[in-house]
Amino acid sequence: MDEEEAASIVPPHEAAAPEPKPIRFRNVLRSGAERIAVSPYLPIAEDLDWLRDTWLHALKPPTDGELRRGSATLRRLLNENMIQRAWRHHGLDGAPTVIAPDLAGLAEHQGMELRHAASLVAGGAIVDQAQMSMVGVWRVDHPTTGVPADADEGFAVQTGAIMRDTRGKSEDNALKPLVEREWRLNAYLDAPAAVRRGQTISRKQIIDYFANYAGGVHLDRAAGNANAEKRALFDLVAELEQRIACDKTEGLYFELLSIGQALGGSPSLQRLAGAIRENAVPPPPADRA
């Protein structure tokens, strides 16, 4: 090798580094030229599918322990507004909805006032091919003496539930739109899910109770930092335990099951899950010349 050839060789550490390739972010087409980032809400779709498959369509209902642990999922989806956020993110029309009983409407239809309920849950869950709604105990006027339900003593007590065999199509009657009411999600959360000693408890509060309070942390053992109002609410909800039996499921847990089944069986939320999955799939790589 002559001196000219040797001079043309560049040592490895002095060789020019290749130019860096630009970072490219892949987007998913929605409609026309509009694009959104790959969905960050895939866990929401997975949670909705899980509720459908294990709480609604399972051969056996979840155990109390499984329901209690699942309350964290319900809190994330509902109380922390993750469903609403995912709905807005994907630009879906309208608002998310669920089908569930209207406890106040059912009570009015039955000629009963919620303030007269001793222990009551809205329910609506399907277990062993039977749906149960408005399950509990309430005061009524005494049919013989006429003592009113408002009296301090001498009133009558009635127990009951609205039942439906789900093996066939539900018949059209005055109860159907009350048992199968379509709710916007926010209204559903705020509506009465239970009553204890005449005081209504919302679905949102039931979820909050299970996610923060139930399961080994009870009454005076509960979150010591909770304010007095929340502790009083949790104490009230706790009084419902073992007061109502819904087939083989304790009443308070049955209400939690009902909430999960309402989400898992909602066509609106399955539409959301589909939109999330569609936008979670990365697009095929672009053809290279």
274 pLDDT more than 60:
yes
The pLDDT of residue 30 is above 50? no
What number of other Cβ atoms are within 10 A of residue 62's Cβ?
19
CA 21 to centroid of chain Cα atoms: 45
User: What are the residue boundaries of the structural domains of the chain, listed by start?
Assistant: 97-272
Tell me whether strands 117-127 and 192-196 are parallel, antiparallel or unpaired.
antiparallel
Largest CA distance in the chain: 125
Are 50 and 73 within 8 A, CB to CB?
A: yes
**d(Cα 148, Cα 131) in Å, to the nearest integer?**
31
| Predicted pLDDT at 224 | 54
Q: What rounded mean pLDDT belongs to the chain? A: 85
Residues of the chain by 3-state class (helix, strand, coil), percent to 5: 40, 20, 35
- Please compute the mean of the pLDDT values over residues 148-157 and round it to a whole number: 94
Return d(Cα 216, Cα 101) in angstroms, integer. Answer: 30
What is the pLDDT averaged over residues 65-78? 95
pLDDT value, residue 247:
83
Nearest 5°: CA angle at 219, between 117 and 210? 70
pLDDT over 50 at 202, yes or no = yes
Mean pLDDT over 126-146 rounds to 95
**Residue 283: which pLDDT band, with cuts at 50, 70 and 90?**
low
Angle ∠(62,224,190) on CA atoms, nearest 5: 55
Q: What is the mean pLDDT of residues 85-92?
A: 95
Q: What is the percentage of the chain residues whose pLDDT exceeds 90?
A: 68
Is residue 100 within 8 A of residue 181, CB to CB? The reply is yes
Report, as an integer, the average pLDDT of 70-86. 96
- Reply yes or no on whether the pLDDT at 34 is more than 60: no
Rg (CA), the chain: 28
pLDDT tens-place string over residues 214-261: 754 444 444 555 678 888 999 999 999 889 989 889 999 999 999 999
Helix boundaries (H) for the chain: 3-7, 42-51, 64-74, 82-89, 103-109, 176-179, 185-190, 203-212, 228-238, 251-264, 267-280
The pLDDT of residue 31 is above 90:
no
Asked whether residue 8 carries a pLDDT value surpassing 80, the answer given is: no
Average pLDDT of the segment spanning 253-272? 97
- Distances from the Cα of 18 to the Cαs of 11, 15, 21, in angstroms? 15, 9, 9
Phi, psi at 13, each rounded to 5°: -75, -15
Q: Look at 275 and 227; give whichever has higher pLDDT.
A: 275
- Segment 109-117 shows an average pLDDT of 94
Residue 120 pLDDT > 90: yes
Q: Is the pLDDT score of 87 beyond 90? A: yes
Render pLDDT for 95-105 as a digit per residue (tens, 0 to 9).
999 999 999 99
Give the whole-angstrom CA distance, residue 24 versus residue 144: 80
For the chain, percent of residues with pLDDT exceeding 70: 80
| Range picked from 15-19, 35-39, 57-61 for highest mean pLDDT | 57-61
Rounded mean pLDDT of 69-97? Answer: 96
Distance CA 199, CA 113 (A): 11
